Amino acid sequence: MDQAPGSPQGPAGQDPADQGPPDAHRLPTCYRHPGRETGIRCARCDRAICPECMVDASVGFQCPDCVRGGSGTGHPPAASRPRTLAGGTMTADPRLLTKILIGINIAVFIAVSADSSLLGDLVLIGAWPPAPFTPTSGVVDGEWYRLVTSMFTHQEIWHIGFNMLSLWWLGGPLEAALGRLRYLSLYFVSGLAGGALTYLLASPSQASLGASGAIFGLFGATAVLMRRLNYDMRPIIVLLVINLIFTFSWSGIAWQAHIGGLVAGVVVGYAMVHAPRERRDLVQYGTCALVLVVVVVLTLIRTVQLI
């Protein structure tokens, strides 16, 4: 959650079809990850595959085994290199960026805990000191970097703990499904959108911090991805509703960051997983650019209001 400082806030290679008839109310499980239910099957061998194992093909998706077998060697040529659902390059460690983001958040938390004076330079604050004094710091004074640094800043142990658990749970599957560059774009665009809406609507002297804007963006993108893959939407909807209840019922939470991040995550996530293959990069990164333009416009509007 974004808060004001000091405020509460079966073995691989075994096809599930070989394990007996599936439960009538359950989806088949990925042949490489037996614990993951999925509604997607390989276009060549018809085995069930999860987002991490889906390789973008000219028609539908293929499993990694079929891609390797179809190339005639142990490694597919560059032209047919395995791609994720969104067109990203498949990697050996699909959670690498998620681990790095968690590491950065923890490093900043340790630094702030060791030297609390750093907090004032990292949090998102519109203008300080408040009117009628002339602002000498804040976004209005040109410190736009606070929109980024506040995304990695936490003050309370429970705050960073909750956010990092959410980042691990949501980030890994999304990174695997989107690919690293697209995943990182989603994360930063969502976080910046949350910060911009906070700057626009919250009191200019109210400081906020936390990764919640970006994480709510991951919530939105996860819902879009699950819809795209015909997964059961109930778990993610229940979690999202619970988080929104906390957002509007717990004092000290910057709800603007949550809503801004959520909306941006849904928009960018939809572009990532529904972009037509022939214009994929244009649609995906063009959508990210458009959201960033909105972020800049909202920030400029608020700055003009406060000058």
Task: List active site positions.
Answer: 212, 258
HEC string of the chain?
A: CCECCCCCCCCCCCCHHHHCCCCCCCCCECCCCCCCECCCECCCCCCECCHHHCEECCCCEECHHHHHHHHCCCCCCHHHCCECCCCCECCCCCCHHHHHHHHHHHHHHHHHHHCHHHHHHHCECCCECCCCCCCCECHHHCCCCHHHHHHHCCCCHHHHHHHHHHHHHHHHHHHHHHCHHHHHHHHHHHHHHHHHHHHHHCCCCCCEECCHHHHHHHHHHHHHHHHHCCCCCHHHHHHHHHHHHHHHHCCCECHHHHHHHHHHHHHHHHHHHHCCHHHHHHHHHHHHHHHHHHHHHHHHHHHHHHC
